[in-house]
Every structure is written in structure tokens, then in C-alpha cells.
A = this chain, B = another copy of it.
Amino acid sequence: MFPTRLEEVQREVSAALAEAIAAQPSAPLRDAMGYAAQGGKRLRAFLVLESAALFGIPAAQAMPAAAGVEALHAYSLVHDDLPCMDDDDLRRGQPTVHVKWDEATAVLAGDALQTLAFELCADPALGDHRIDLVLALARASGAAGMVHGQMLDIAAETAAAPLTLAEITRLQDGKTGALISFAAQAGAILAGADRAPLAAYAGALGLAFQIADDILDVVGSEETAGKRLHKDAGAGKATFVSLLGLEGARRRAADLVAEAEAALAPYGEKAETLRAAARYVIARDR
């Protein structure tokens, strides 16, 4: 069942990540990295492990990649929360790294988590195609992917007019879509198989995920979400909800989930947990 499998993944990936971080020699850095890497939904790790399972790659073998994508995600959150960026004080229900330590520690812990992500994705256990995984992670997370989206997000805050639907879609496609897409394709990459069906699944899934995030920002509970909400409307930022309305956003997200499920047709029954993951993405409360 999907929720049980997600909880298993959360435990296993958190343990793998904690172990990789515990091996680092720098005490304060190690503490801040471990703190930043704990908690979270582990959706990206789940996508890595389940897409690997589609191609017969066992979870134990794909684990470094699953831990790697979560290290990458954790780095992006630490830097995104910095005072010069989104200036957030709460993340995953805890004070952010720069609040608990200081800004210099947050910059360096984020930097080291990015490096760790690449180290984990180059782990020999991942087999002969891991160099392609490294390349795909770089393309998804750098100036052509996630960081591009973050830059557009920052530019949007000082833009003269709110973004259009096309502009928000492009922004989110980088900011959250690229890494989710990487995670969902990881299994095919490691197997040296065709990535197209998983890329189609992930494209729809990533956008549904972000629309759900915008809906959560309006209707969610800060206590359950573990982060500050209701920031977008206050800042006058355009979101999928402000552009489509709450009901319109819900309909669009549901359509995208159906699209994501349909893209998995080539894998038949084997892809059932990935279909359940798509449904979870718009049903979640954090």
C-alpha cells in the first residue's frame, strides 16, 4: 500500500542520509547538514526507488541515488530560506539552519549538501550508468533547472506586474519540476532504458505538485505543513490559485494526475505505487 511504502522509504532514506552525513569530519558542519537533511516527505527519494524497482533494480542498490536527491533538495531549502532569499524561519516544523546556527553555517551546510548529492549519485553501488545520473542531476539542478527557477522566483518578487500562467508554469517547471522529473527518471537512467514514459509522468506530476503547494499555501495549516504559509497572497505574488481560482486549480491538478497515471501505461501493474504517488501529491496536507 502506498502510505506504508512511503513511510518505509522515509525511514530507510533518512537512515542512509544520516549515515553519509555522520561520516563527514567537520563537527559543526556535520550537525547543520544532518539537521537540514532530516524530516521531509521524501517524495523524491520515493520516486527514485520506485522507478528503479520498475526495472528490477533493488532498493538497496538504488539507495545512494535516493539519498542523493534528498541531499540536493535539502541544500536547495537551506539556501532558499536564507535572509537574502525567502527569509524563512520555519522549515519541516523546526527553526531554519540560519536561525539555529548562523548565515555562514547555512551557506556552507547547503554547499556541502549539494556536493554530497553528487558524491552519492557517483556511488559505485549504482552501477555502470551512474555517470549519466550525475549528468542528469547537474542538468536538473543547475542554472538550466532548479537554480534557474529560483532566480525567476526572486525576479518575480520585484517585477512590475504579477506573472502570467505561462511564466509561473515556466518558473515552477525549474524550481520544483526539474528535480522531481530527475527523481522519477532515475530508475530508467540507472537501467540504461528509455526515459520517455517516466519523463511524461514526471512532467505532469511536478506541475500537479506545485499547484497542490499553492493550494496548501491558501487552505493548509502551518502546524501540519511545518513551514510558513499564506505568504504568497500577502506578498501579492501570482500563484496557480490566484490565476485559476481555488476550484480551477484543483481541477487542473486532478487533470494532471490523470495524465501522469496514463503516462505509466507501458509499465502496467508494476507502476501501481507510482500511480498512487501521483494521487498522493494532490491529496497531501504538507
Interface of A toward B, CB cutoff 8 Å: 21, 23-26, 28-30, 33, 75, 79, 82, 84-85, 102-105, 107-108, 110-112, 114-116, 118-119, 122, 130-131, 134-135, 137-139, 141-144, 147-148, 150-152, 154-155
A-B contacts, 14 listed (Cβ < 8 Å): A25-B143, A29-B147, A82-B104, A84-B102, A84-B104, A84-B107, A107-B107, A108-B151, A111-B147, A116-B142, A119-B138, A122-B135, A130-B131, A134-B134
CB distance from A200 to the nearest CB of B (A): 22
Q: How far is the CA of A143 from the CA of B23 in the complex (A)?
A: 10
- Whether B104 lies near A116 (C-beta < 8 A) is no
Candidate in A33, A105, A142 with the most chain B CB atoms within 10 angstroms: A142
Is chain A's interface secondary structure helix, strand, loop, or mixed overall? Answer: helix
Q: How far is the CA of A115 from the CA of B28 in the complex (A)?
A: 24
CB distance from A238 to the nearest CB of B (A): 19
Copies of this chain present: 2
Q: How far is the CA of A189 from the CA of B25 in the complex (A)?
A: 24
- Whether A144 lies near B24 (C-beta < 8 A) is yes
- Whether B30 lies near A143 (C-beta < 8 A) is yes
With A85-B104, A107-B107, A114-B111 known as contacts, the answer to whether A33 contacts B143 (CB < 8 A) is yes
Q: Which of B26, B102, B143, B148 contacts A143 (CB 8 A)?
A: B26
CB distance from A118 to the nearest CB of B (A): 5
- Whether B139 lies near A119 (C-beta < 8 A) is yes
CB distance from A159 to the nearest CB of B (A): 12
List of B residues within 8 angstroms of A138 by Cβ: 115-116, 118-119, 122
Candidate in A143, A151, A152 with the most chain B CB atoms within 10 angstroms: A143
- Whether B85 lies near A107 (C-beta < 8 A) is yes
Name the CB-closest residue of B to A123.
B135
CB distance from A83 to the nearest CB of B (A): 8
- Whether A79 lies near B111 (C-beta < 8 A) is yes
List of B residues within 8 angstroms of A154 by Cβ: 104-105, 108
With A107-B107, A155-B28 known as contacts, the answer to whether A122 contacts B148 (CB < 8 A) is no
List of B residues within 8 angstroms of A131 by Cβ: 122, 130-131, 134
Q: How far is the CA of A122 from the CA of B119 in the complex (A)?
A: 12
With A119-B135, A135-B119 known as contacts, the answer to whether A112 contacts B142 (CB < 8 A) is yes
List of B residues within 8 angstroms of A110 by Cβ: 111
